[in-house]
Homo-oligomer: A and B are copies of this chain.
Amino acid sequence: MERKHCKPAFERADPARRETVLQTGIDEFSALGFENANINVIAKKAGISIGLMYKYFETKEDLFILCLEEAISELHRVIGEVLESDDKILVRAEKLIRTIQEAAEPNSRYVKLYNEITKMSDEKNVRYYADRIESVSYEAYTGFLARAKADGDIRPDCDERLFAFFFDSLLMTLQFSYTCDYYKERFTVYCGEDILEDNEKVVRELLKFLESAFTFSREDVKKLEN
C-alpha cells in the first residue's frame, strides 16, 4: 500500500549513522517545521554530504516521513507501557495524564512532529498516516472502554467509539498544551500562568471532569434528545 521511504543504501548504512541522520532530522523538522527545515543543513549537521543524503532518500519528504515514523513509534512505546496494565478506567486515565506530563519535556520533539502532520492536507496520504498513527490508541481506548462498560464503570448507553474519541481529544490537546508554543499559551490563557508547573492540579481536575463533567438532571437530557 505504501512504498518504502528510504533507499536500500540507507538500510545498509551504519546503524549509528542512521540514528544520527534521523535524530538530526527530527531536531530540525520539529524546530522549524517541514517547509522551513533545510535538507542541506540537516545533512551538514548530521555530518554527511547532501550527495549522500540523496543516496539515502529519494526526496526531502521521504526523510521527513521516516523521521515522523520514528517519532510516532517512540510516542506509542511510551503510552503502550501504560496501556498494558489492567487497571480500572480512571486509574488508567490518571496514569496516562501523568505520563503525558512527565514525557512532555523529553519527548517534545516527537510531539511537535506529530503536531506538524496535523495540518497536513489531503493531497498527500493523510488517510494512510491517520490510520497508522491513530489506530493504536483507538484500539486501546475502545478496548478498555468496552470493558469498563461491561463492568458498569461507565454509563451503559454510551457509544464506546465516540467516548474514546472524546477521551483521546482531551489527552491529545493536553499533550500539545505541554509542548507546542501556541497550545501552551492557550493553556495559560485558560488556566493561569502557573498551570504548567502545577501537574497535580491538572490531574485532579481532569479526573473530576472525566468522572462527571457536568452533572445535569436526566430529565433535561431526555428533553434534549427528542
Interface residues in chain A, defined as those with a beta carbon under 8 Å from any beta carbon in chain B: 31, 33, 35-36, 88-91, 93-94, 115-122, 126-127, 129-131, 134-135, 138, 148, 153-155, 157-159, 161-170, 172-174, 180-183, 185-187, 189-192, 195, 201-202, 204-216, 220-221, 224-225
* CB of A58, distance to nearest CB on chain B (Å): 20
* CB of A142, distance to nearest CB on chain B (Å): 8
Chain B residues near A180: list those with CB within 8 A: 118-119, 121
Chain B residues near A88: list those with CB within 8 A: 216, 220
- The reply to whether A216 and B153 contact each other, CB–CB distance below 8 Å, is yes
Chain B residues near A224: list those with CB within 8 A: 90-91, 94, 207
- The reply to whether B130 and A186 contact each other, CB–CB distance below 8 Å, is yes
Tell me, in angstroms, the Cα distance from A51 to B225 when the chains sit together: 57
Tell me, in angstroms, the Cα distance from A220 to B33 when the chains sit together: 43
Chain B residues near A192: list those with CB within 8 A: 161
A216 contacts which of B90, B126, B162, B189 (Cβ < 8 Å)?
B90
- The reply to whether A209 and B153 contact each other, CB–CB distance below 8 Å, is no
A210 contacts which of B148, B165, B208, B214 (Cβ < 8 Å)?
B214
In the complex, residue of chain B having the shortest beta-carbon distance to the beta carbon of A127: B185
- The reply to whether A90 and B162 contact each other, CB–CB distance below 8 Å, is no
In the complex, residue of chain B having the shortest beta-carbon distance to the beta carbon of A128: B185
Chain B residues near A205: list those with CB within 8 A: 158-159, 162-163, 166
* CB of A75, distance to nearest CB on chain B (Å): 15
Tell me, in angstroms, the Cα distance from A202 to B117 when the chains sit together: 25
Most chain B CB neighbours (cut-off 10 Å) among A130, A165, A181: A165
